[in-house]
Amino acid sequence: MSRQPRRDFPTEFKEQAVARLSEPGATQTSVARELGVTASQLKGWRLELAAAGSAEAIRRRQAEAGELAELRSRNRRLREEVRRCG
């Protein structure tokens, strides 16, 4: 039994495949069969996309927290300037 060569799928294909899992009556096995991939590949793509979304959300929150800290610091400096001049 020989192994088939590894196939690479574009990200867009993976995203569309995972999106099909949310259709009524769609199962991992049925969608995988329709697309000619294995159910484990489809599961891996689903987990990969979920992790990427989570990582992006974390990066966004960290950026927002950094921006908020900078704005608070700037606000504090401006208040001090107003007190000194006023």
Hey, is 9 helix, strand or coil? coil
What structural domains and CATH numbers belong to the chain?
11-85 (1.10.10)
Residue 35 · residue 23 · CB < 8 Å: no
pLDDT in tens, the chain (86 residues): 677 788 889 988 999 999 999 999 999 999 999 999 999 999 999 999 888 888 788 888 999 999 999 999 999 999 999 999 87
pLDDT of 58 reads 82
**Both tokens assigned to 61:** 């929150």
Hey, is 47 helix, strand or coil? helix
Q: Cβ neighbours of residue 38 under 8 Å, at least 6 residues apart?
A: 32
